[in-house]
A and B are shown apart, each in its own frame.
Chain A
Amino acid sequence: MSTTENVFENLRLELRRGCLTLAVLAQLRQEFYGYTLRKALADLGLEIDESTLYPLLRRLEAQGLLASEWREEERRNKRFYRLSADGEQIFGQLVEEWQAINASITATINNTL
């Protein structure tokens, strides 16, 4: 990989990191367990590695944004996640922030083109 590609890759990962959290929170307004959440995000065009998504769910839960429970489904115990009350509130704030940033960035890009 060339230096330019390396730089791009690092920046792309940085850009994705924050967006992924928002996408996960958005999707978890409905209840999912790890694998089905990953599939749902992939269907929407957002591929996430297992090694990124599953620890991220744990971190968001530790921060109080998600609530989880173990439940049996199709003869297998699975851990289901959904937004907690705090999570919903913070998600609302993040969406506002996202829309503001998105509008500014779009305007900036359009201005400079």
Chain B
Amino acid sequence: MDLLDRYLQAAKKHLPWQRQDDIIAELKANLESQLEDKEAELGRPLTAAEAEEWIKQLGAPIQVAAAYQPQRYLIGPAIFPTYWFVLRLATVWCTIIYSIVSAVQILSGGIATSDQVLEAVLRLPGALITTVAWVTFVFAVIEYAVTHSNIKCMPMAPPAAWSPGSLPPIAKDSATGKRPRSYAQAVVEALTGFFLLVWILLIPGHPWVLMGPGALYLQASPFKPGPVLMEFYWCVVALSLIQLGWQCLELARGTWQKPSKARKNVMQVVGLIPLVLLLTVPNHAAVLLKHPALDQARYGVTLDTVNMSIYRVALFIFVIAAIQTIVGIVNFGIGSYRKRVGAI
């Protein structure tokens, strides 16, 4: 039954990851036996409305899963699902609001520097920890009040609003033969994205993180990066931010198992922009002389060689990236077409 599979899929996301498959296999066998009995009793399969009613009686997926979690003392199982729901919501909104406020603050002061952006990014974990602490504190107080009084704690927001019709469709892993991305993998990818962004933002102020001892040579050399390299740099920063934001959104929405192909294609297309910037700079002047009047005669040929090398490398990468992007978009188009035809 499709609805039962969707229900189990939704519950699985909230189960302890080491035992997910085992628990779901057992629940499935038990619920299928129960369904068979119900249908044998009626002498017909359940109608869609009856199936929804039955699934609803089983309880919200998050609450079913919570019963399998080890005992928590600070926040008990009765309110833990609500706590977890509010915590995820609060961290997402904290990130969004913080990003908007930081962007407005930085841009209102004129041209943004990488140090300002880096500072804002590094302050984000502090803001998130504060949010998590406050939410946890409030729920710990509620838990204390509930356990030290005779109030019967009713499940709050998500279970009350829960309806079987809102369960997400089954992820079609068998069609692609790929294992769905695990939560741990998605978290590691988001953390890697965060540290990569921090590393990128460190580069202008501390070029040694990119070039090592070569940074000293660059400082002493007669060359300097041209404006186009800074434009290239800010494009890369923007792309990393978008990618990171998208990953965080997937984690918050619980859709990390199947990264969106559309997202991948959009990122590939947008990823070509910095390369186009490099390729279209007049005279391929990515690198300039610090003192053109003094050094042109001596370093002019070297400068042309450096700029031409940068241009060729950028062109090579652009061609490969463009081919990958086109192949990705064509595959996506074919996949969508097949899906549409298959649905008819």
A: residues with CB less than 8 A from B are: 1, 3, 6-7, 9-10, 33-36, 38-39, 49-52, 54-55, 58, 70, 76-79
Q: Which of A39, A51, A58, A76 contacts B23 (CB 8 A)?
A: A58
Report B28 CB to chain A, min CB distance, Å. Answer: 9
**Contacts A51-B58, A51-B63 given; does A35 touch B150 at CB 8 Å:** no
Check if B334 is an interface residue, CB within 8 A of chain A. Answer: no
Contact A6 B151 (CB under 8 A): yes
The answer to whether B68 and A50 touch across the interface, beta carbons within 8 angstroms, is no
Which residue on chain B has the smallest CB distance to residue A4?
Answer: B150
Is B29 at the interface (CB under 8 A from chain A)? yes
In the complex, B163 has a CB within 8 A of chain A: no
5 A-B pairs with CB atoms under 8 Å apart are A35-B29, A35-B31, A54-B30, A55-B67, A70-B25
CA distance A49 to B27 in the complex (A): 13
Q: Is the CB of A77 within 8 A of B29?
A: yes
The reply to whether B32 and A76 form a contact with Cβ atoms under 8 Å apart is yes
CA distance A38 to B29 in the complex (A): 13
Query: For B25, B33, B59, B150, which residue has the most chain A Cβ atoms within 10 angstroms?
Result: B33
For residue B69, which residue of chain A has the nearest CB?
A55
- A10-B152, A58-B23, A58-B68 are known contacts. Are A50 and B29 too (CB-CB below 8 A)? no
Interface SS majority for chain B: helix
Whether A51 pairs with B26 at a CB distance below 8 angstroms is: no
Contact status of A34 and B150, CB under 8 A, knowing A50-B58, A51-B63, A52-B67: no
Taking the nearest CB of chain B, how far is it from the CB of A58, in angstroms?
Answer: 6
1/0 contact trace for B60-101 toward A, CB 8 Å?
Answer: 000110011000000000000000000000000000000000
Is A36's CB under 8 angstroms from B67's CB? Answer: no
B29: contacting residue among A6, A58, A79, CB under 8 A: A79
Fill in one digit per residue for B18-55: 1 if any A CB lies within 8 Å of its CB, else 0: 00000101110111111001000000000000000000
**Do A78 and B152 form a contact, CB below 8 Å, given A55-B67, A58-B23?**
no
Give the residue of A6, A35, A52 whose beta carbon is less than 8 angstroms from that of B30. Answer: A35
- A sample of 4 more A-B contacts (CB under 8 A), given A51-B63, A51-B64, is A6-B152, A50-B34, A54-B27, A58-B23
Closest 4 interchain pairs by CB?
A55-B67, A34-B30, A35-B30, A35-B33
Chain B residue at smallest Cβ distance from A50: B58
Given A34-B26, A34-B30, A78-B29, A55 contacting B68 (CB threshold 8 A) = yes
> A74 CB to closest chain B CB, in angstroms?
8
Taking the closest CB of chain A, its distance from the CB of B59, in whole angstroms, is 5
Kindly state the separation between the CA atoms of A57 and B34 in the bound complex, as whole angstroms.
Answer: 17
Alpha-carbon separation in the docked complex, A6 to B154 (Å): 11
Q: Can you name the residue of chain B whose Cβ is closest to the Cβ of A57?
A: B26
- Report whether A76 and B29 are in contact in the complex, using a CB–CB cutoff of 8 Å: yes
Q: Is the CB of B33 within 8 A of A36?
A: yes
* Smallest Cβ-Cβ distance to B26: which chain A residue: A79
Specify which of B25, B58, B68 is in contact with A77 (CB 8 Å cutoff). Answer: B25
Q: Which residues of B lie under 8 Å from residue A36 when comparing CB positions?
A: 33
Residues in A with CB closer than 8 Å to B32 are: 76
Contact assessment for A54 and B63 in the assembled complex, using a CB-CB cutoff below 8 Å: no
> Once the chains are docked, how many angstroms separate the CA of A7 from the CA of B150?
6
Smallest Cβ-Cβ distance to A76: which chain B residue:
B29
Contacts of B67 in A (CB 8 A): 51-52, 54-55
Query: Which of B29, B31, B64 has the most chain A CB atoms closer than 10 A to its own CB?
Result: B29
Residues in chain B near residue A70, CB distance under 8 A: 25
Establish whether residues B150 and A6, one from each chain, have CB atoms under 8 Å apart when the complex forms.
yes
Given A9, A39, A54, which contacts B26 in the complex, CB threshold below 8 Å?
A54
Least CB distance from B129 to A in Å reads 32
B26, B37, B150, B151 interface centre (most CB from chain A within 10 Å)? B26
Known: A55-B68, A58-B23, A77-B25. Contact between A50 and B151, CB under 8 A? Answer: no
Residues in B with CB closer than 8 Å to A79 are 25-26, 29
